[in-house]
Amino acid sequence: MLGYLFVANYFLLGSLGRNAVSAFNVAKFGGTSVANFEAMSRCAAIIENNPNTKLVVSSACSGVTNLLVELANGVADQARRQEVLNQLAQIHNEILDQLADPLSVEKEVHIILDSVATAAEAASYQTSTKLTDHLVACGELMSTHILAQLMRERDIDAVRFDIRDVLRTDSNFGKAEPQLDAIAQLAQDKLVPLCQQQVVVTQGFIGSDEEGNTTTLGRGGSDYSAALIAESVQAAGLEIWTDVPGIYTTDPRIAPKASPIPEISFSEASEMANFGAKILHPSTLVPALRHDIPVFVGSSKEPEKGGTWIRHQVESSPLFRALALRCNQTMVTLRSANMFHAYGFLAKVFEILAKHKISVDLITTSEISVSLTLDQTDTSGGAPELPQAAREELEELCTVEIEQNLCLVALIGNNMSESKGYAKQVFSTLEDFNLRMICYGASPHNLCFLLHESVSKSAIQKLHRELFEN
């Protein structure tokens, strides 16, 4: 039904991981992939099509964790609390109603919904991080009951497993630290034997501490869970099914001819993520990297489109791999009249920045000046500000100029600092642009420019056309 590409894709999924210890793959489905009955059915089809996939890690249904977080923060208004509880019931009941045999899991799901109501009331009096984790874990606990049943109804021999029996963490509720040795041992004892017999469906994001309290790994933690679980069972491959068909040469909304990248190295992928590409964050994949487990990223909506493998070693390392764009940049230029042949100026500048916990991203220097951009440290998404106190201290040393409305364009590739001849092509493509800053040479994987935000997208378009579309 899904055609040749789909089959070819799965052949690849099965064969590429053949060197690893365990014969099976772990597949993780994000919230949008399990948002409703149709979405869950697509996940089941993906599992059916690859007999190599034995372990399924699922997020909560889309939107559920946000609702649970609202309850966990304490909703004093009883009407609002009831409204949120109704929404939660509706999301799950709608899927249950479409199962052939809803009764087989309805009771389990409703018990969890009841416990959510009780905990939400408790949170309206007094919140705690422990209670929050108990509450927000319920999304994954419910979605996996339903997904496992849906798979059984399609004749997949699936069993739901409570990952809290394996994913041991410390008791740092809200952002618990996994305990790798314990997880590895528990996985070998409890999970691996099960995976050899059945398809196991389990929860992302959650774990438990030594006392058996439920913990979570932090928002968006199910990718990290999946990588930890893949590591613990020594999986052959880790599939991350999301709502985009892998990693593209650039954002297709900016350059419609952007093309999917079939294979990319961990280091290139982390450069892309660091420079703003909205892809899987490689820091969540560290466990997979540690065990050299290849990671596949694809869309559960369009599995026939294939996706991207992120691997330690890749077959081709092209000079140009991708273009990333990150806006809301703040550039600080410091000029000192006394800098000429002086020493210690940069040391003083960085001492002040360190004292104010300001992290620097890009930097270029000249004899009497230094320009740097500030790292995005908060999650507001706006341009970072230089704190007034830091500015005043810097002004005792030099003049301080601040520019905003800038974007960073990063050209990502391989061996860039050792290659000849390509700079001409890059710079002649950008000859009509005012490049406010250029960073090149420190990393073999990137060449970065700072441009005014009004022209940054057209710079990406031009570079993409010139370097990737022929």
Closest to ligand ASP by CB, 65 vs 214, is 65
Q: Say which entry of Mg ion, ligand ASP, none residue 221 contacts (CB below 5 to 8 A, set by partner kind).
A: ligand ASP
Binding residue count for Mg ion, defined by CB under 5 A: 2
Q: Say which entry of ligand ASP, Mg ion, none residue 414 contacts (CB below 5 to 8 A, set by partner kind).
A: none
**Is the CB of residue 358 less than 8 Å from the CB of residue 386?**
yes
Structure tokens at 243: 């709502």
Closest to ligand ASP by CB, 279 vs 362, is 279
Closest to Mg ion by CB, 244 vs 383, is 244
Supply the minimum distance, in Å, between the C-beta of residue 162 and ligand ASP: 16
DSSP string, 92-139: HHHHHHHSS-THHHHHHHHHHHHHHHHHHHHHHH---HHHHHHHHTHH
Closest to ligand ASP by CB, 161 vs 205, is 205
Nearest-angstrom CA–CA distance, 277 and 295: 17
Supply the minimum distance, in Å, between the C-beta of residue 120 and ligand ASP: 17
How many residues are there in the chain? 470
Closest to ligand ASP by CB, 6 vs 29, is 29
Query: Which residues make up the interface to ligand ASP (CB under 6 A)?
Result: 30-31, 59-60, 65, 139, 204-205, 219-222
Structure tokens at 463: 């570079």
* Per-residue DSSP letter, 403: E
Supply the minimum distance, in Å, between the C-beta of residue 146 and ligand ASP: 15
**Is the CB of residue 217 less than 8 Å from the CB of residue 169?**
yes
Closest to Mg ion by CB, 225 vs 373, is 225
Q: Does 220 bind Mg ion (CB under 5 A)?
A: yes
Closest to Mg ion by CB, 223 vs 393, is 223
Closest to Mg ion by CB, 30 vs 276, is 30
**Is the CB of residue 105 less than 8 Å from the CB of residue 47?**
no
Supply the minimum distance, in Å, between the C-beta of residue 242 and ligand ASP: 10
Supply the minimum distance, in Å, between the C-beta of residue 451 and ligand ASP: 33
Q: Say which entry of ligand ASP, Mg ion, none residue 245 contacts (CB below 5 to 8 A, set by partner kind).
A: none
Supply the minimum distance, in Å, between the C-beta of residue 140 and Mg ion: 11
Q: Say which entry of ligand ASP, Mg ion, none residue 306 contacts (CB below 5 to 8 A, set by partner kind).
A: none
Nearest-angstrom CA–CA distance, 450 and 455: 10
Instruction: Please identify, among the stretches 42-50, 219-227, 233-241, 286-294, the one whose residues bind Mg ion according to the rule CB under 5 A.
Output: 219-227
Nearest-angstrom CA–CA distance, 8 and 206: 34
Closest to ligand ASP by CB, 70 vs 403, is 70
197-to-139, 159, 250 alpha-carbon distances in Å: 27, 10, 41
Supply the minimum distance, in Å, between the C-beta of residue 56 and Mg ion: 15
Q: Interior CA angle at 320 toward 317 and 322, to 5°? A: 105
CA 200 to chain centre: 23
Within 10 Å of residue 231's Cβ, how many Cβ atoms? Answer: 24
Structure tokens at 276: 């703003």
Which residues inside 12-41 make contact with Mg ion, applying CB under 5 A? 30
First to last CA, the chain: 33
Q: Say which entry of ligand ASP, Mg ion, none residue 219 contacts (CB below 5 to 8 A, set by partner kind).
A: ligand ASP
Supply the minimum distance, in Å, between the C-beta of residue 298 and Mg ion: 14
Q: Say which entry of ligand ASP, Mg ion, none residue 6 contacts (CB below 5 to 8 A, set by partner kind).
A: none
Supply the minimum distance, in Å, between the C-beta of residue 377 and Mg ion: 22
Residue closest to 241 by CA, chosen among 39, 45, 14, 33: 33
CA 9 to chain centre: 22
The dihedral built from the CA positions of residue 108, 109, 110 and 111, taken in this order, carries a sign that is: positive
Closest to ligand ASP by CB, 14 vs 139, is 139
Q: Does 294 bind Mg ion (CB under 5 A)?
A: no
**Is the CB of residue 213 less than 8 Å from the CB of residue 170?**
no
Q: Inter-axis angle of helices 422-429 and 453-468, to 10 degrees? A: 140
Report the amino acid identity of residue 391. Answer: R
Nearest-angstrom CA–CA distance, 386 and 43: 46
Which residues inside 116-175 make contact with Mg ion, applying CB under 5 A? none
Supply the minimum distance, in Å, between the C-beta of residue 222 and ligand ASP: 3
Which helix (H) or strand (E) covers residue 222, if one does?
helix 222-232
State the residues that interact with Mg ion by CB under 5 A. Answer: 30, 220
